[in-house]
Every structure is written in C-alpha cells, then in structure tokens.
Structure 1
Amino acid sequence: MASSKPPEVQMVRGREGTEWTLALSLRTLAEFRVPNVCNAFHVSLGKSNKFWVSDTVDSLVQTNPEGAVLNRIRTSGGEGFHTVTDDENLIYADRMMNVINKITEDKIKKFTKTGDWEPLSIHSSRINGDILVGMIREGEAKVTRYNKTGREIQNIQTDNKGETLYVHPHYITENINGDICTSDIGKQAVVVVDGLGNYRFSYEGYETIFSPYGICTDTVGHILVCDYKEAVYLLDQDGHFLQHIFTKKDLVFPCSVCLDDKNNLYMGNAVTEIVKMYKYLHWV
C-alpha cells in the first residue's frame, strides 16, 4: 500500500500568473483484480468507467471496477502497446504483423500498417486526436505521428545534430504543451521532444540505474514515470526531478501508470493482476 507520509506540497504557476497550491495525496481508493491476465504491464483508460489492461503474454482485457470481463483480445503481447481515444475506441499495436488495429463497436478494423517497422508503444493525443507510435527496425527507432484516419504525418528519429533520439521506445505519452514523452528502455531514459519533433531533454534517473517503463502526465504538466526496479518518479515539465511518488517500499516492480480525468492514479505491476487506484491530487 501507499506510504502514509504525504508528498510535499508544491506551488504551481497557474493561468495568467495565478498560483495553485498542489497537494499530492496518495490515499488508496480501490484495488481491481483483473481477470484473464497474469500481470498488469499497461493500463489504458477512457472517459467511461472502464479500462483496458494487458499482460506480457497475449491477453488484452477490458474490465470495470467490479471485475467483469467486457472484452478480451488475443494479441502479440508487449508493453505500452494500446491506447483509448477520446471517442472511447481502443487502438492497439500488433507487433507480429506490424499493424495497428482499431476496435469500434466491438469490431476490429485495421487502422494502419507500419511496413517493416515493429510498433512498440502507442498513445492517443488528448490535444488533437493524433496517434503517436514508438517503433523499431533492425537497430533503428523512431516515433511516428498519424492523424485520426491513419495517415502518417510526422516522423521523429534524430535531433538537430543528426544524433539518434531513440533505441527502444516502449511507452509513450503526450504532455499538456504538446511535448512527446517517451520511456526508452534501450537508452535507460525518458526522451522528450516538442510537438514539432525538436529535442528538448532526456531524464536518465536519480542516483541509481534507471529502468523506465510506464509514463503519463498530469493536468499541470508533470511527468510521472515508473522505474521498474525502484519507484515512480515525478518530474516537472522540463525534466527536473521533483520527488518520488512511490518507492520500492510501497510497490513491487511498478510498470504501468495512468491518470483519469478525475485525477485518480492507476498503477499496475509486473507480478500480479491487481491494478490499484489512488487519489493523486487535489487543489487547496
């Protein structure tokens, strides 16, 4: 369970120069035992009271807080390979077939093919509905942006010096300012570019070897990232370490993290099928 000691209160600059007091709270709200999965390596949330959970084998399950199985898909497995759009459709990557699929009204349709690139991670933008995909191909890696119809509109692979940005981008998300935040286990770093693909920064951990997994952002632009061996880190929008949200005393092998529109934090781990929900933040 979460530590009883609350995180520090921080002052956050709000709209038009006002200041918000951000009080972080880690009160446990619920625990969900997800049927038909062996662990919870990735969690995708929609606006409804439903969520998708996947393991590392071949199960992708839609469930609710009551534990009912609403849908189940056999997949090629993976980590951050699915996302829910604003209109409640699931989009997921098939790594074996190099295809991204979309589920609409319980029907699986091809969203797009990725050619000879293997799709690893995927995120549906809350800003404009674009789909961001992290991919690999024989020693190369990139992030590709698709529009809502599946048309490729942007590729991000190198910085302005021609240096490779990514190695194995297995989780991906977008910040409120349009930054694309990628958890790259090959680089052992969180790699962040702006919406145009310009390199901004990399975060390589805090004191110990960094094993970045699940990643998400909150309503004020903080970045939350799971360190598989250690903790969940809270970074500011520019990549500065703020604090641990959880430590290894609180969690075992944290690997998935996401937030709903009510600021509830969902955590999954690599060893059980349990997803925990916490009250993440509130305004004072």
Structure 2
Amino acid sequence: MFADVQITRTKEEKVLRLVEPLVVNIVPTGLSSVRHVSCVDSETTWLCGNGPQLKLMDRRGKELKTTKTPKQYSISGMSMSISGDLVFCSTADRSVYKMKDIKHIEYLFSTGDFEPCGLHCCRNGDILVSVYNNQRAKVDKFGSKGYKTQDIEIKENGRRLFKKPTFITQNKTGDICVSDQDRVVVTTDCGTFRFNYYGRKFKTFTPRGICCNKLSHIIVADNINNVIHVVNENGTMLSALDTSGQGILGRLYSPSSLSLDESDNIWVGEMFSGLIKVLKHLELCYV
C-alpha cells in the first residue's frame, strides 16, 4: 500500500506557459484558400481568400455574414481595430478601408505610390501598413484619421530594413514585428532596428502570418515547413509548433495567416486547403 501524501501549496499561483500544440477545432470555410483571418472574439472570425469576398464565420463553420470589398478587389491585409471595426487594404487600388458592418464600408486613406502588403491596428488607434514598390520597402504608420505620422525604412547604419514586407503586428511592449521574405524583422515602436529572425534550425524559411500573444511571444506561420514558430521578444526561438502527429486533418498544410482569439488560441488559415485550424498553445500552470 502507498502512504497518503498530502501536497500543500504555500502560495497557489498560476501562470501562462507554452505547451505542446493541440488542434482544438477545424473550421471549413467553403473557400479554396484562406489568405487572411482576423478574430472578433473566441467564437468568430472574419476571413477572406483570393477574391473580394469577406466572410464572418464561427468556429463550427457556420457563415454568419458575407460581403464584398467596395471595388471587388482582393484583400492584401486586414486587422480588427480596438473599437471592433474591421480594417483592410488592397494592393489593386492602394487603399485602406474600415468596415463597421457589412453595409457601411468607409474609405480611410491611400498608400500613394506604394502597394499595401499587410496591415495591423494598434491599441492606441494607429494603423501600421507594410508597403512596397519596385524601389523601396517600408512600414508606414498612420493616425486614426488617416494622416501618415511615420516612415520606418532605414537602419541607423543607413541600410534598408526590409526587402518585401508582408504581414505585420505589434506586441505589448510596442515592438513592430514584420514578416519579410525570408526573415522576421523586429523594430521598436519608433522604428529602431532590434533584430532579425531567420527561422533558426530550418534551412528554408518563408514567414507569413504573424501575431503576438499575451506573453509577447512572436508567433509566425512558416508555410514551407508547415509549422508555427514561437519566438520570444528578444529573438530566441522557443518552439516550432508542429501538429503533424494529429492525423491528416490535424497537421498544418501551408499555414498562411494567423490571428489570436480572446483565449489566446491561434486561428491558422491555410493557403491551399481552405481550412482554418484552431490551436491551443498556452496553458495556465501552477508555479
């Protein structure tokens, strides 16, 4: 027989910790490709594919709302604003729009001679847009009324920060994190270069969708290696979230876009399957 063992805790405290990824939901979207996702809450997300259609779907795959972009151009980036509006951009007309509901889509501003490749709504109301043309690549910061307030383009040594920036986000400390061709570029909120992340152990690295969780981890989709990289705020790789052991449907297949819901679950839009896979990657643990 075993003796009774009592475990006492002098101080019960729970903290969030990174755990092995688990696919907790698979959402069929009816699209051939999911290019962008933006979670509204823990149950619903806006999403789009290659065309002009925007869908609001719940985690069971039910279509709640659908609409099209004003000029029926495809979307190159989108993000939920702090006020709950969906903000999106299109390379075709180099414009940024705000949607309060499917009947009210408002033009905000133009990106001029640059094509907008990605977009992120900041907590203070600013909008970050990654832009590109044949000569230059940069991140522009716009105020909530559409006036450009900052260009982020050049390092202190005079070299260019970006090659062709696409997806973009910002963590809790204000650092700006950008998926840029074969690396992730991280700067301060003021645009000062912090570090590049090149995928560490992987020979090839093609970063796509990017977001930051409550722990300020940088989470980036790698659509070549079919994993999700988790990097800390100083550029150290913490994990490669690999779900290949969870069956054919559970494994990631060319993950393209990412968004975090209110519970910090990662909604992963896949480029070729038309599915969204919801991953749990954090857990409350005793310390």
Task: Please say if residues 41 and 55 of structure 1, whose CA atoms lie closer than 8 Å, have aligned partners that are also in contact.
Answer: yes
Separation of aligned partners in 2, 1:19 and 1:153: 40
Separation of aligned partners in 2, 1:258 and 1:134: 17
Q: Which moved more, 1:60-69 or 1:18-27?
A: 18-27
Q: How does 1:216-255 map to 2 (within 5 A)?
A: 216-230=211-225, 231-246=227-242, 250-255=251-256
**Which amino acid is the alignment partner of residue 228 of structure 2?**
V
How far does residue 204 in structure 1 lie from its aligned partner after superposition?
1.1
Give the direction of change, closer, same or farther, for the CA distance of 1:78–1:229 in structure 2 (3 Å limit).
Answer: farther
**Which amino acid is the alignment partner of residue 267 of structure 2?**
Y
Q: Deviations over 1:182-204 (max 9, x none)?
A: 0011xx11000000100000011
SS for the counterpart of 2:117 is strand
Structure number with bigger Rg: 2
Separation of aligned partners in 1, 2:75 and 2:199: 23
1:267 aligned onto 2:268: yes
The corresponding residue for 2:196 is 202
Task: Please say if residues 47 and 86 of structure 1, whose CA atoms lie closer than 8 Å, have aligned partners that are also in contact.
Answer: no
Any gaps of 5 or more consecutive residues in structure 2?
Answer: 1-12, 246-250
SS for the counterpart of 2:112 is coil
Separation of aligned partners in 1, 2:179 and 2:34: 17
How far does residue 60 in structure 1 lie from its aligned partner after superposition?
2.7
1:131 aligned onto 2:127: yes
Q: Which moved more, 1:267-276 or 1:56-65?
A: 56-65
Separation of aligned partners in 1, 2:166 and 2:271: 15
Which of 49, 54, 60 aligns to 1:60? It is 54
Separation of aligned partners in 1, 2:199 and 2:185: 12
**Which amino acid is the alignment partner of residue 119 of structure 2?**
I
SS for the counterpart of 2:199 is coil
1:29 aligned onto 2:7: no
Separation of aligned partners in 2, 1:78 and 1:190: 22
Given the two structures, how large is their TM-score scaled by the length of structure 2?
A: 0.85
How far does residue 113 in structure 1 lie from its aligned partner after superposition?
1.1
Which of 133, 137, 142 aligns to 1:141? It is 137
The corresponding residue for 1:6 is none
Q: Which moved more, 1:46-55 or 1:158-167?
A: 46-55
The corresponding residue for 1:276 is 277
Q: Which moved more, 1:39-48 or 1:252-261?
A: 39-48
The corresponding residue for 1:12 is none
SS for the counterpart of 2:151 is strand
How far does residue 23 in structure 1 lie from its aligned partner after superposition?
4.2
Percent identity between the two aligned chains:
27
1:100 aligned onto 2:96: yes
SS for the counterpart of 1:103 is strand
SS for the counterpart of 1:96 is coil
Task: Please say if residues 46 and 86 of structure 1, whose CA atoms lie closer than 8 Å, have aligned partners that are also in contact.
Answer: no
Q: Deviations over 1:101-151 (max 9, x none)?
A: 11123311111111111111000113x121100001222111011111111
The corresponding residue for 1:14 is none
The corresponding residue for 1:113 is 110
Give the direction of change, closer, same or farther, for the CA distance of 1:23–1:96 in structure 2 (3 Å limit).
Answer: closer
Superposition RMSD on alpha carbons, in Å? 2.0
The corresponding residue for 1:73 is 68
Give the direction of change, closer, same or farther, for the CA distance of 1:277–1:155 in structure 2 (3 Å limit).
Answer: same
The corresponding residue for 1:13 is none
The corresponding residue for 2:163 is 167
Separation of aligned partners in 2, 1:189 and 1:216: 15
Q: How does 1:175-190 map to 2 (within 5 A)?
A: 175-185=171-181, 188-190=182-184
**Which amino acid is the alignment partner of residue 229 of structure 1?**
I
Separation of aligned partners in 2, 1:167 and 1:76: 25
Q: Which moved more, 1:56-65 or 1:138-147?
A: 56-65
Given the two structures, how large is their TM-score scaled by the length of structure 1?
A: 0.86
How far does residue 56 in structure 1 lie from its aligned partner after superposition?
2.7
How far does residue 248 in structure 1 lie from its aligned partner after superposition?
5.9
Give the direction of change, closer, same or farther, for the CA distance of 1:280–1:150 in structure 2 (3 Å limit).
Answer: same
